[in-house]
Amino acid sequence: MNFSEKDILQINEKGIKTKEVEEQISIFKRGNLKVDITEAATIGNGISKIEDSEKKELIAYYDAEKQNHSVLKFVPASGAASRMFKALHNFADEFDPEKQSLRDYLDEAGDSDLQRFFNNIEKLPFYEQAVKKTHALHSDYDKQSHDAQSKLLVKTILESDGLYLSNLPKGLVPFHKYDSHIATAYEEHLYEAAKYLEVDGAVKLHFTVADGDKGKFKGEWKEIRERVEERTGVKFEIEYSYQDPKTDTIAVDNNFEPFRTEENDLFFRPGGHGALIENMNQLDEEIVFVKNIDNVVTEDMVPLVADYKKMLGGKLLKVRSRVFEYQKMLESGEVSEDKLKEIQDFLEKELFVRNSSSQAPSVEYLKSKLNRPLRVCGMVKNEGEPGGGPFLVRDKDGEISLQIIEGAQIDNNNPEQAKTAREATHFNPVDIVCSLKDHSGNAYDLNEYVDEDMSFIADKTKDGKPLKALERPGLWNGGMAKWNTIFVEVPVQTFNPVKTVSDLLKDSHQAG
């Protein structure tokens, strides 16, 4: 690939090497690689179902042990709210109350989310604020027909002279209305974290935010701090980081040539949430809980969620203790054949690491398999269509391990692979607790445990022209592919994501 001096300067300014760009272009030419799923992870075969007695033990263990560790909650929060309001934008652009009734428009659109929005609009946490603002903007509002009022209200929610909610980071959209206040997703994460992360009166959180949004989050914290700290009785230590520009990826055209802007510059795009492995790599803490910004619950459900977080944390700390014990044994050089067999059984039965060789594993092999980051992932029963989730996957070396796989990674043209995918019983809610340091207290370099083959190519457009974009291996997919992994079932009540504005109207987001 021949880059001009101007190209090389642009690449270097992003902190990237030309070799990396060339490697990315070769991935485009190679195309997406499908994974080899051997089985769906199910209860008893890759997913643990923890009974109440053991759950209580794990919670107690976590509560006793967390004081001895540095713990933090890591929340990817760079997403914008624009996608959440997409159907409303379409409505505002398309609906003309002088030519069509609202009912006819909704029937023609066939969008159940949009119908739920208008049927229950008064339950939205920002409804009263939107009505008040619409009255201020339109003095004749009360004289308008119901359908015309509906359009004006939607435009107030969306547009810059109104609430402008679709321009906010998703984490700062009002999610829940209480008698005393309205809470954003950001605020709800703080209440939840206080229930299971408090150590010595302090709680640590780390939010990854879009460049330019840090001030908005800090402004929100300034507004709510007194209320949140008074209600929780703890002090919060809140950090923010951006997605590093050096994790951006080159885009190419349909001929696999670097895509260029109208100014003839190379065009780089953010590398997806998998790029956040670099943000996580910069953390000092040893135990890190990961949860998406839009997955929050109302205050009455926080104790339930916190208990399951503690359960996952207790499981992680107990398993990690055994891993460290075995590592020290192996390093001592005095390990009996029986102990080697015990360690091998632990790897196979607890961590589902399956050796492809028929020979007994060597000490070096066991060391290499134990000496890596560890994660415990909550999994929720799949009550809808099977798709991405927890699977046993065979890698290119023939070894089988537990992985979180997205639907797009599965070769649905292969009947056997498609059949295995349909057998999935659970999905991934992004409810993860991680151990980031080894038995000597040294931080792992998380970049060493990424499976680069699990990057993903997607078709996009720029300036009306088609391009191919490269997303780095997903944070909890290929980004953690070479970690040791445990899957544990958690109840669906702990999973309440908000993908569209209408999701805020579900019972789980109505503060009772």
Q: Which of 3, 56, 477, 78 is nearest to 265 (CA)?
A: 3
pLDDT at 388 (0 to 100)? 63
pLDDT at 444 (0 to 100)? 98
pLDDT at 511 (0 to 100)? 87
Is the distance from CB of 363 to CB of 335 less than 8 angstroms? Answer: yes
> Angle 245-247-249 (CA atoms, 0-180°, nearest 5)?
100
Q: Provide the 10 A C-beta neighbour count for residue 40.
A: 23
Second CATH level (architecture) for the domain 5-81+169-318+425-495 = Alpha-Beta Complex (3.90)
pLDDT per residue as tens, the chain (512 positions) = 789 999 999 999 989 999 999 999 999 999 888 999 999 999 999 999 999 999 999 999 999 999 999 999 999 999 899 999 999 999 999 999 999 999 999 999 888 889 999 999 999 999 999 999 999 999 999 999 999 999 999 999 999 999 999 999 999 999 999 999 999 999 999 999 999 999 999 999 999 999 889 999 999 999 999 999 999 999 999 999 998 888 899 999 999 999 999 899 999 998 888 999 999 999 999 999 999 999 999 999 999 999 999 999 999 999 999 999 999 999 988 888 899 999 999 999 999 998 766 677 789 999 999 999 999 999 999 876 555 699 999 998 888 999 999 888 899 899 999 999 989 999 999 999 999 999 999 999 999 999 988 998 988 988 889 999 999 999 999 999 999 999 999 999 999 999 999 999 999 999 86
pLDDT at 355 (0 to 100)? 75
Which of 468-502 are b and which e, b meaning 16 or more Cβ less than 10 Å from the residue's Cβ?
bbbbbbbbbbbbbbbbbbbbbbbeeebbbebebbb
Q: What is the largest CA-CA distance in the chain?
A: 87
Token readout for 80 is 């914008």
Domain residues of the chain, as ranges?
A: 5-81+169-318+425-495, 82-167
What is the H or E stretch that residue 376 is in? strand 374-381
pLDDT at 385 (0 to 100)? 53
Q: Which of 488, 496, 494 is nearest to 51 (CA)?
A: 488
pLDDT at 358 (0 to 100)? 66
Is the distance from CB of 473 to CB of 479 less than 8 angstroms? Answer: yes
pLDDT at 387 (0 to 100)? 52
The Cα 315–Cα 487 span in angstroms is 10
| End-to-end Cα, the chain, rounded Å | 61
Is the distance from CB of 318 to CB of 376 less than 8 angstroms? Answer: no
Question: What DSSP string runs through 242-296?
Answer: ---GGG-EE-B-TTSSBPB-TTS-B-EE---GGGGHHHHHT---SEEEEE-TT--
Is the distance from CB of 20 to CB of 27 less than 8 angstroms? Answer: no
Is the distance from CB of 71 to CB of 199 less than 8 angstroms? Answer: yes
Token readout for 357 is 């060789």
Distances (CA, A) of 358 to 66, 336, 355, 361, 399: 40, 20, 8, 9, 12
pLDDT at 468 (0 to 100)? 93
